[in-house]
Amino acid sequence: MRLGVVVSGKGSNLRNLVERDFDVVAVATNRPSCGGAAYARERGIPLGELSLKRFSSEEERDEAMREFFKAHGVELVVDAGYDRIHTRPFLEAFRGRIINVHPSLLPQFGGGMDAVEQALVAGVDVTGATVHLVTEDLDGGPILTQERVPVLKGDTVETLRGRIHEAEHRILPAAIRLLEAKLAQSPAVGQ
């Protein structure tokens, strides 16, 4: 499938997908100075720089992202460290074809970008990573796959986040392959 990846951070999941030979045809970002955007530029992947300050609303930004991805023939959108919530114009255009990687075992610690910090504060023994379909329900779409990650004595945000990233790098490709298979059996999904 032709992937459109949305990033706001370092871009480790984007890099992982490219290195595993996934067909990443476009990258969009709300933070043009982030590492993921820099990686897309280095690799010559078409980059949509969609900082909110360029638009009058989040909906207008998402309409621009939708058109950018459609122009590049994106079939599946991967939110890989994207720190914003998609609005209706984008969700409707790619319904059933947007996945998100989240650094916790959803539904635990959903709804924000601080799931690793929340896990440490809560004192849990296990957290993890989840890939799920994106719906209007924030971090509440159907789960495609999860991997448990133990919280070790003495863990810091950085050490735990590093192990969670390793889990994300395993489960995100698996989730994409799973969704590809499902969509191949039911091409009407998202259309």
The mean per-residue pLDDT over the stretch 65-92 comes to 97
Q: Which has more confidence, 188 or 148? A: 148
Q: Who contacts 180 (Cβ-Cβ below 8 Å, separation ≥6)?
A: 1, 76
The pLDDT of residue 106 is 98
The pLDDT of residue 95 is 95
Say whether pLDDT at 150 is over 80. Answer: yes
Report percent pLDDT > 90 for the chain.
93
The mean per-residue pLDDT over the stretch 83-95 comes to 96
The pLDDT of residue 190 is 44
Say whether pLDDT at 70 is over 70. Answer: yes
All domains of the chain, ordered by start, with CATH?
2-101+133-148+165-185 (3.40.50.170)
Question: Which of the following is catalytic: 72, 102, 165, 169?
Answer: 102
Say whether pLDDT at 122 is over 80. Answer: yes
The pLDDT of residue 183 is 86
86 catalytic residue (yes or no): no
Gap between the Cα atoms of 11 and 154, Å rounded: 26
The pLDDT of residue 185 is 87
Given a contact cutoff of 8 angstroms between Cβ atoms, the answer to whether 11 and 31 are in contact is no
- What value does the mean pLDDT of the chain take? 95
CB atoms within 10 A of CB 99: 25
The pLDDT of residue 189 is 46
98 closest CA partner among 48, 44, 160, 144: 144
Say whether pLDDT at 147 is over 80. Answer: yes
